[in-house]
Amino acid sequence: MNLIHYIQSFHFVRLIMLLIGFVPIWVSPAFALDGQIQIHDPSTIMLCNDKYYTYGTGGTSLVSDDGWTWLRGVTPARRGMAPDVIHVGDRYYMYISSNPGGQPHSQVIMISSKSLDPESPDYGWEDGGIVNSTDGVEFCNGIDPGLFLDPINGKMWMTFGSYFGYIRIVELDPKTGQRVDDRFKNIAINCEASIIIYHDGWYYLLATHGSCCRGADSGYNIRVGRSKKVTGPYIDHIGMDMLLGGGKLFVGSGGRIIGPGHFGLIDEGDGVQKFSCHYEADLDRGGASVMDIRPLLWRDGWPVAGENCKEGTYEIESVRTGTALELAVEGVPVGGRRRRGARGMFGGQGGVIPPQDVAEVSANWPAGNIDIRMSNYMCQAHQKWTLTPVTDAGGYLGSPYFKITVAGTNRTLAVGDDAELVALSAFTGEPEQLWRLDQLADGTWRIMPKVASIIEEPLALSAIGSSFATLSKYDPTSDKHRWLLNTP
């Protein structure tokens, strides 16, 4: 498909979105963001009054109490294409693009409110007028605004643009949300849905490449370049300028989802970062365009798309000690204890030794609660844990809560009355038995109970020495709270 044909079809589809909006009509699969998550071009997710908000093309609005289950929200005062939102001072600024008169004529309009919560007395959108426009002659279709507040100097910037020409950056006044002056700089080409983030001395420009708005035939993918200056040049990992079409792949299609686009940063603090995006087609939801939230990792100075925790059986290994979480019971060697025989002391038994039968070895375990400890991993049944998402128990940004049980049993990891770890005889669904698992920037995991009965502050699974596991206040600088999930 040639560029002009693509652009025309792309904006025709977006126009249809504006006219009819989105109506969720499917039943959610067991393991994906829950609720009504159909949206295209979602804005950066904002937290306001303990609720999460995002806005998309056509006036779509989604809201969530926990970041896991989403509902349709109130349509903002203006509709348009690919809005973005930023919180500066006591106001939320929303920037909404459109193509009045047809592309590449464009404009970006700003509205602002002191709250995103329609129930708040501070809620109410004020119109800030046109912040940017393109005349249809210059080589830029100024849609898809992306907002950035520089943590170093407090300056505010907006990037914009689509496949018809350049991605541009302009400076905004953080006190008013308006343009500082008429200057702009071209920083990329052959992409759209651009946005800037900052990490460890570098500015990163993330932008969406590929074809849009064609469902499972969409080629959307997110690419990235970096610069020491917010105005560029943004160079990829092989030294190519994004102004010349460069860009390191950040995330593309995979599994049952096609066409990720529209990156939005979510920084939860304590070293936990996530990102939002939409998929052009989720094959498990009838090919609908839906939102997702995933961990944001960093490797060798580049952002990496992480994966939310998946159901499965794992060894839970401490990064600090290299030992594994286990029930405090007497272990039984896999295959039984070694005996002298025809093969000699070191000749083994011959043949393949099967995994332990947990029903057999657990016959000698205590009937009641069992303590938790750590030890060298030896493939034994009491060292293998199954993580299972719990339905109708809520969740957190991007994921449901999990139960953690000894594989093949009902023995459930929980927080005891003394705020220490314990394995209960069965899972009953109490909050002390629910766990959240956040992937950290280095790919390790932070494991936290939903609640601890006698302690109000958030606690995380912690390795003390090589044999003792406990719960303690999370320290993002310490390896004692970092864990690996290894496939047994």
Q: How much is the pLDDT for 412?
A: 98
Question: pLDDT tens digits, residue range 230-254?
Answer: 999 999 999 999 999 999 999 999 9
> Of the candidates 183, 182, 134, which has an alpha carbon nearest to the alpha carbon of residue 161?
134
Architecture of domain 3-305: 5 Propeller (2.115)
324 neighbors 98 (Cβ within 8 angstroms): no
Q: Is 279 exposed, middle or buried (0-12, 13-18, 19+ CB in 10 A)?
A: buried
- 296-308: string of b/e by CB count within 10 Å (b at 16+)? bbbeeebbbbbeb
- Would you kindly state where each structural domain of the chain is located, as residue ranges? 3-305, 312-486
* d(C-alpha 459, C-alpha 324), whole Å: 19
User: Which H or E run contains 428?
Assistant: none
What's 312-486's CATH class?
Answer: mainly beta
Question: pLDDT tens digits, residue range 342-366?
Answer: 555 666 777 898 999 999 999 999 9
User: Tens digit of pLDDT per residue, the chain (488 long)?
Assistant: 333 333 444 444 444 444 334 333 333 333 579 999 999 999 999 999 999 999 999 999 999 999 999 999 999 999 999 999 999 999 999 999 999 988 889 999 999 999 999 999 999 999 999 999 999 999 999 999 999 999 999 999 999 999 889 999 999 999 999 999 999 999 999 999 999 999 999 999 999 999 999 999 999 999 999 999 999 999 999 999 999 999 999 999 999 999 999 999 999 999 999 999 999 999 999 999 999 999 999 999 999 999 999 999 999 999 999 999 999 999 889 988 766 655 556 667 778 989 999 999 999 999 999 999 999 999 999 999 999 999 999 999 999 999 999 999 999 999 998 889 999 999 999 999 999 999 999 999 999 999 865 566 789 999 998 899 999 999 999 999 999 999 99
Q: How much is the pLDDT for 142?
A: 96
* d(C-alpha 375, C-alpha 383), whole Å: 9
Q: How much is the pLDDT for 7?
A: 41
Q: Is 387 exposed, middle or buried (0-12, 13-18, 19+ CB in 10 A)?
A: buried
**pTM greater than the 0.85 cutoff:** yes
Indicate the SS3 state at residue 482. Answer: coil
Q: How much is the pLDDT for 339?
A: 65
Q: How much is the pLDDT for 127?
A: 97
147 neighbors 132 (Cβ within 8 angstroms): no
